[in-house]
Copies of this chain bind each other. A is one copy, B any other.
Amino acid sequence: MAIAEQSDLFLRACRRQPVERTPVWFMRQAGRYLPEYRALRAQHSLLELCRTPELAAEITLFTVRKLEVDAAIIFADLLLPAQAMGMELDFVEGEGPVLSDPIRSAADLARLHLPADGELRCVSEAIRAVCKDLHGKLPVIGFSGAPFTLASYMIEGGASRDFLHTKRLMFHHPELWTDLVNQLVQVLSEFLRSQVEAGAAALQIFDSWVGALAPSDYQELVLPYSRRIFEAVRPTGVPTIHFGTSTAGLLGRMAQAGADVIAVDWRVSLDVAWSQIGYEHGIQGNLDPTLLLAPFERVATGASQILRAAAARPGHIFNLGHGVLADTPPETLANLVEFVHSETGSR
């Protein structure tokens, strides 16, 4: 157990307040690269882990203890709300998530429903358990998918390369698209608020695949709905982070959705990204997760470049540009936390 005494480093960085060192956490920091996680997965399906608050809390907690990161993100799956809205969710080895009977018509849409009472309670219960254990020593991040990314899974039925079905629906049937994302705004807003009520001290909204869109299509068909999510959670008072990949051409527009912090991937230099986002926002990122497969000397060089690009400006949260890969050596992640802390700790 080696959780920092200082619990609000991450939250102060989210609010662009001065910090004594740059906070660090990692997307998918609780995942397959950890032997402890693989041992649990040998006994339980991914959905069992997500839907059993004690197990989700345990995974969340052993990860932050092992890595000494500055925030805990609740262990959960992005697609739980789709399941709660009536879709059948499964995880196929080597293929990732599969949602049966994807949404491609008005009839498909009619099958969706608001989550039954308590259907998503597993997540807030897990947050409660984590907060209780941490005694306020570390902030807990709640999260959900953004309307576009969640809708794309529901329309494609899983991961996608070209998002053909999603774009076809957006371009051919804008009224169905609007109906679907309106439903998602309602469900996700409620889901996120319930996570804050349970103790989440910050929220991250994952629009992981939004970089597939042209900026003008984003502006017209996605931004209004993402904005409503941030408006809905603003009264909770917790800081918000808005993440996407391949967004180098979208950053100015994403910033308009209203998050406090924009999370960027490695495909753009952090200084260039921040100037496009605007310094009234914080920035999170942005090491290439693949770099963690390199010798640590090269990892350190990459991390140093990012810290230099952040130029000690308040509001930088160190993270990867996407989730930790399964092949990552756990000691590399632990060393990286230590490296970022020691490099920035002299301020």
> Residues of A with Cβ closer than 8 Å to B?
162-164, 167-168, 171-172, 211-217, 246, 248-250, 266-269, 272-273, 288, 290-291, 293-295, 298, 302, 305, 321, 325, 327
Contact = CB atoms under 8 A, between A and B. Distances in A.
A272 B249 contact: yes
B246 A211 contact: yes
Contact of A168 (B249, B269, B293): B293
A217 B288 contact: yes
A266 to B, nearest CB: 4
Contacts of A298: 171
A269 B164 contact: no
Given A164-B325, A216-B302, A249-B272, A172 B267 contact: no
Contacts of A215: 267-269, 272
Given A163-B290, A249-B248, A249-B272, A267 B325 contact: no
Contacts of A164: 290, 293, 325, 327
Contacts of A267: 211-215, 246, 248-250
24 contacts: A162-B290, A163-B290, A164-B325, A167-B290, A167-B293, A168-B294, A171-B290, A171-B291, A171-B293, A171-B295, A172-B293, A211-B267, A213-B267, A213-B288, A214-B267, A214-B302, A215-B268, A246-B246, A246-B267, A248-B248, A248-B249, A248-B268, A249-B267, A249-B268
Given A164-B327, A214-B267, A295 B248 contact: no
A284 B203 CA distance: 39
Nearest to A299: B171
B327 A294 contact: no
A171 B269 CA distance: 19
